[in-house]
Amino acid sequence: MNPPAILLYFDEEHAAASRLAEASGLAFARVERHRFPDGEIKLRLPDTLPERVVVLRTLDHPNEKLVELLLAARTARTLGARHLTLVAPYLAYMRQDIAFRPGEAVSQRIVGRFLADLFDAVITVDPHLHRVATLTEAVPARQAIVLSGAPLLADLVAQRRPGALLMGPDGESAQWIAQAAARHGFDHAVCAKMRHGDHAVEVELPPVPVAGRAVVLLDDVASTGHTVAQAARLLLAAGAGTVDSAVTHALLSDEALRMMRQAGVGDIWSTDTIPHPTNAVSVAHLLAQALLNLGQADG
């Protein structure tokens, strides 16, 4: 039997922390944060901690959060934590996994190593692992655990759009499409995508009939929204009845949402890995189960 653990969270994630605390039965406490006029931050954790500490920090807009994690994890160790788990429902910097041009930082490896040096275990949801097979290659922590939002999104699509044609906007989405399709027997296909820049995306539809179909574009992340928007334009031009979108991580700005809607995307659903108006399903129980398994594995 493991000693009790505590869940630490930051202000902006109070709602997510409550859901996770309720699902996992963990006690939870807020990390106090003060921002000095010069932009530096000071953190204050509960002054005594149990041996097992879980830190919840989703890593959208990650730069400052990485400094917070450095301060929080090092402080937690001095306050008694022996086993530190990071729950980062969205894990940043996973897309830059090679140097595309000489001299570029391979951010995935650097940020992954940084987190592995701070935490014994890292739990995340649908990390963008393209050219590496396992999360451990990117984040070499003692335990690096990957969960998927695709089954939750598949269940939602099955309720809202029974009989939908599930479509992945690019080759990398094939893994999530396959998982979701297997769960409900959806027809499915995957587009080809060429990215020419942050806001320039070329999509080629697969050779499957779409006329009159309710198509749902399913992907791990939508950021500028151009991938989904471009796929939607092509699908509607090819006669699709409706095009909706389901993503695990909604990094979308208001402007990106507007652009997607102008392109004809109907409903946009996301999981709550990142707090966002499109959140439609919660990963709290998934995370809680992973924490439970981790406790059992370590017990």
**Of 227, 242, 271, 278, which lies in the binding site for ligand R5P, with binding defined by CB under 6 A?**
227
Q: How far apart are CA 296 and CA 299, in angstroms?
A: 5
Task: Please tell me whether residue 126 binds ligand R5P under the rule CB under 6 A.
Answer: no
Q: Select from 6-14, 39-47, 75-83, 221-229 the region that touches ligand R5P (CB under 6 A).
A: 221-229
Interface pick for ligand R5P out of 60, 97, 220, 272 (rule CB under 6 A) = 220
Q: Do the beta carbons of residue 200 and residue 176 sit within 8 Å?
A: no
Q: How far is the CB of 283 from ligand R5P (least distance, A)?
A: 18
CB of 273 to ligand R5P, least distance (A): 14
Indicate which residue of 65, 193, 226, 276 is catalytic.
193
Residues forming a β-bridge with 9: 30
**219 part of the interface to ligand R5P, by CB under 6 A:** yes
Binding residues for ligand R5P restricted to 182-211, rule: CB under 6 A: 201
Q: Which two tokens stand for residue 129?
A: 């692992």
Pair 165, 210: CB distance under 8 Å: yes
Interacting span for ligand R5P (CB under 6 A) from 26-34, 118-126, 223-231, 261-269: 223-231
| Closest distance to ligand R5P from the beta carbon of 220 (Å) | 5
Spatial CB neighbours of 245, under 8 Å, sequence gap ≥ 6: 216, 217, 218, 219, 222, 228, 232, 260, 265, 267, 268, 269
Least distance from ligand R5P to the Cβ atom of residue 285, Å: 24
**How far is the C-alpha of 272 from the C-alpha of 91, rounded, in Å?**
13
Residue 51 CA to residue 30 CA, distance in Å, equals 17
List 85's β-bridge partners, or say none: 54, 121
Q: Report the interhelical angle of 254-262 vs 226-237 (nearest 10°).
A: 10
Using the minimum distance from each CB to ligand R5P, give the nearer residue, 24 or 270: 270
- Check binding of 97 to ligand R5P (CB under 6 A): no
Catalytic residue set: 193
Contact positions vs ligand R5P (CB under 6 A) = 169-170, 172-173, 201, 219-227
